[in-house]
Structure 1
Amino acid sequence: MAIAPSVYIGTDFGATTSKIAGIWVDGQPISTELLQRPSNSHLGPAAVVEGWIEAIGIYLAQHDLSWDAVQGVGVAIPGPRRSYGVLERGPNLPESFVGFDVYSAYRTALVMQTGRDIPLVVGNDGNMGGVAEAHQVRGSGSASVLMLAPGSGLGCAFVDARGHALDGDTLAGMEASHMPAPLHLLGLPAYPCGCGREWGCIELYTSLAGLPYLIAAYLPEYPDHPLAHSPLSPKEQALSLRGLAQQDDPLAQRIFDFQARALGIHIANLAMACDPQIVIIGGGLMDTEATRAAFRERYLHTIWEAAAPYLWPSQRTTMRILPASLGELSQAIGAALVALDQHMMS
């Protein structure tokens, strides 16, 4: 009788969609194709977990694997967290998820599906993405990695030389998106953040969350710009900027240059504390299907030019700023890698 191969499954829980990925015992992805299904969070926590179990079954069948092969499962969840595996109130999830014990519910569902206790790990989605990208970029090396991923907000992670993400004692480690921006260098006021802080969280100057403010700040200088007379809502205008920038639109390019500069200064700030050898930039602006190579190169170059003057001399010669490479797979693969690491340590 053939022995089933050992695999580790990662689940990436988003308010709208959940993603499934898997790795072999050597840490290599089983596939680079994304399995994505609706989370159905509007139906409540039980429906979400049921959907994960169903999606894993589909993933295993697609790759001629069985549940017997699964030796560990990881799940990437959004912050904030009340305690390990327990959600606090989040900006995008229904009220029914406040206080939801993801760890206990998912672990019980796995036992019911397989008849055995499959080890489960839970972690912040940004941290899980950082683990995967760090594993990808450094190979057999041991460099520490800082990952910043501007998207709807600013995802942040720091992964040490052992491949472990910084969680912190209250599971709030590397919430660096809510550190105050250096407003004296950026020349803009402190915009109020959805987190409740009013000191000008850096997220508002580097991600989609702040684009309506930046459009309002710069659009008056472009009175003939289509957005100056657009019926689109502020959010819709913000969502249009990435596409406009690919057409060399001057307003869009100016705003993304500003965001890159703000992100570069933030990297220099974090380098004082973390001293990473590699900085990975993720998020939608690094999406090779949605942005041109010239745009990505300009964005990364502007980040480096903004960071370099504030780095220590040794950091200027050793630090590298690189684009993320795993895209939407990163958080699910990271969750699987953490599950593998925990299994090997047990």
Structure 2
Amino acid sequence: MSYLVGIDVGGTTSTVAIGNENCEILYVSDQFDTNSAAGPGPLIHAVVEAILKGLESLGGTGDEIAAVCIATPGPATLDGVLLKTPNLKAEYWDRFNIRLALENGLDGRGYHLDVQYIGDGQAAALGEYSVRSGKLTYSAMAAGTDIDPDLQSLFKVIVGTGLGGGEVRDGRVVRGREGRAGHAGHLLLPADAFRYEHDRELKVGNAFSTVESAVSLTALAHQLGYRLELEEWRDHPLNSQPGTVRDKAKRLRELAAAGDTLAQQLFDDQARALGIALLDINYLGDYDMIVIGGGVCDLAPEVRSRYLRLAEESYREHALDGFRNLEHFVFSACGDAAPVIGALANAYHSLEVAE
């Protein structure tokens, strides 16, 4: 039996996935602590141990690994050299070759393998594509997901602490000349995508009025803090609760599910801004499918449906006639597992290239 391995390293947690030669995803680990503040050594050790533990649960060993790929947040080079990656302390991680470090970590355990690298946004798009096209079999994909063997292209955005993205075209993930493709969060939005002037004043990277400054947890915290100071919301329950504005922003999903007007307004604004961003993206790509992933997938069903409807309405309101025929946006079929599935899919691809 041959096994292929994908790893997704996040700023907070990491995950390992294992598949077999029949393109079946056999194992997705529980998330484990990245512990990035401790530096690369403990993480590489934890990843190697997680791989071997997963193999052991399947009755396999490291000697049966055929290919490995690791994904991390960008930016990074094509070869896996991290470049001041968000949520990874620059003191330890800037200019660190995580691909080579994992290769050395496995080699130290006696497993001599060429490790591959992919950015996590690109991996999320590839994971989504691989499951939806039937190239990989994933038993835990979202109920009701249709398999489409003719699917050739998609763009996926991941709404989380920030906003990432990735593209698949002609069945292949797009990485770009230097591995930087997919940074949708840094596209610029028009002024009317924001309710208040204050909302446009969140600087992300080197720019204001970006997609990420409207569509992310960071954006929600920025906007919530301002709204709670307005006369309209002075009596809102969040004003009397302890914690930072960011802590309060993390409660917005449950408040929206309970019908809270302020929480619903914030998610409505986010959905409309995202619709404009997805139109910009589709103007360039003309995709078969546009997928929304990340934390918004976990909104309560009614809030989720409203979010999707408003994003689609905003897209069509601003679109040229020839682009209004996009059927609809879809939420991720893979949830939080999309990046690790994409890393696994890229491991399969590396075998195809080698052959």
TM-score, normalised to structure 1's length? 0.91
Q: 1:138 offset after TM fit, Å? A: 3.1
In 2, the alpha carbon distance for the partners of 1:213 and 1:183 equals 16
- Change in 2 beyond 3 A, CA 1:225/1:104: same
Q: 1:277 aligns with which of 279, 285, 288?
A: 288
Contact kept, 8 Å, 1:16 with 1:41, in 2: the verdict is yes
Q: Does 1:292 align with 2:300?
A: yes
Describe how 1:33-48 pairs up with structure 2 within 5 A: 33-48=28-43
- Change in 2 beyond 3 A, CA 1:313/1:24: farther
Q: Does 1:15 align with 2:11?
A: yes
Contact kept, 8 Å, 1:151 with 1:208, in 2: the verdict is yes
Q: 1:183 offset after TM fit, Å? A: 1.5
1:290-311, Cα deviation, whole Å (9 max, x unpaired): x321111111111111112333
In 2, the alpha carbon distance for the partners of 1:115 and 1:66 equals 10
Tell me the residue number matched to 2:325: 317
- Change in 2 beyond 3 A, CA 1:236/1:74: same
Aligned length: 335
Q: 1:144 aligns with which of 132, 135, 153?
A: 153
Q: 1:50 aligns with which of 33, 45, 51?
A: 45
Q: 2:209 aligns with which of 186, 200, 209?
A: 200
Q: 1:185 offset after TM fit, Å? A: 4.0
Tell me the residue number matched to 1:86: 81
Describe how 1:1-346 pairs up with structure 2 within 5 A: 5-31=1-27, 33-82=28-77, 84-94=79-89, 95-116=91-112, 118-139=113-134, 140-162=149-171, 164-189=172-197, 190-195=200-205, 197-219=206-228, 220=230, 221-287=232-298, 291-346=299-354
Aligned partner of residue 264 in structure 1, secondary structure: helix
Worse overlay, 130-139 or 152-161: 130-139
In 1, the alpha carbon distance for the partners of 2:2 and 2:33 equals 27
Worse overlay, 107-116 or 200-209: 107-116
Q: Which amino acid aligns with 2:201?
A: Y
Q: 1:39 offset after TM fit, Å? A: 1.9
Q: 1:83 offset after TM fit, Å? A: 5.5
In 1, the alpha carbon distance for the partners of 2:196 and 2:285 equals 27
In 1, the alpha carbon distance for the partners of 2:279 and 2:327 equals 11
Unaligned runs of 5+ in 2: 135-148
Contact kept, 8 Å, 2:156 with 2:293, in 1: the verdict is yes
Aligned partner of residue 170 in structure 1, secondary structure: coil
Aligned partner of residue 165 in structure 2, secondary structure: strand
Contact kept, 8 Å, 1:277 with 1:319, in 2: the verdict is no
Q: Which amino acid aligns with 1:86?
A: V
Q: Which amino acid aligns with 2:282?
A: A
- Change in 2 beyond 3 A, CA 1:109/1:231: closer
In 2, the alpha carbon distance for the partners of 1:115 and 1:152 equals 35
Aligned partner of residue 282 in structure 1, secondary structure: strand
What is the RMSD of the two structures over their aligned residues, measured on CA atoms?
1.8
Unaligned runs of 5+ in 1: none
In 1, the alpha carbon distance for the partners of 2:29 and 2:260 equals 32
Aligned partner of residue 181 in structure 2, secondary structure: coil
Provide the identity percentage.
28
Worse overlay, 331-340 or 135-144: 135-144
In 2, the alpha carbon distance for the partners of 1:143 and 1:270 equals 16
Q: 1:227 offset after TM fit, Å? A: 2.1
In 1, the alpha carbon distance for the partners of 2:227 and 2:36 equals 37
Contact kept, 8 Å, 1:73 with 1:119, in 2: the verdict is yes
Q: 1:264 offset after TM fit, Å? A: 0.6
Q: Which amino acid aligns with 1:297?
A: S
In 1, the alpha carbon distance for the partners of 2:192 and 2:300 equals 32
Q: 1:318 offset after TM fit, Å? A: 4.2
Aligned partner of residue 169 in structure 1, secondary structure: coil
Contact kept, 8 Å, 1:16 with 1:39, in 2: the verdict is yes
- Change in 2 beyond 3 A, CA 1:39/1:248: same
Q: Which amino acid aligns with 2:328?
A: R
TM-score, normalised to structure 2's length? 0.89
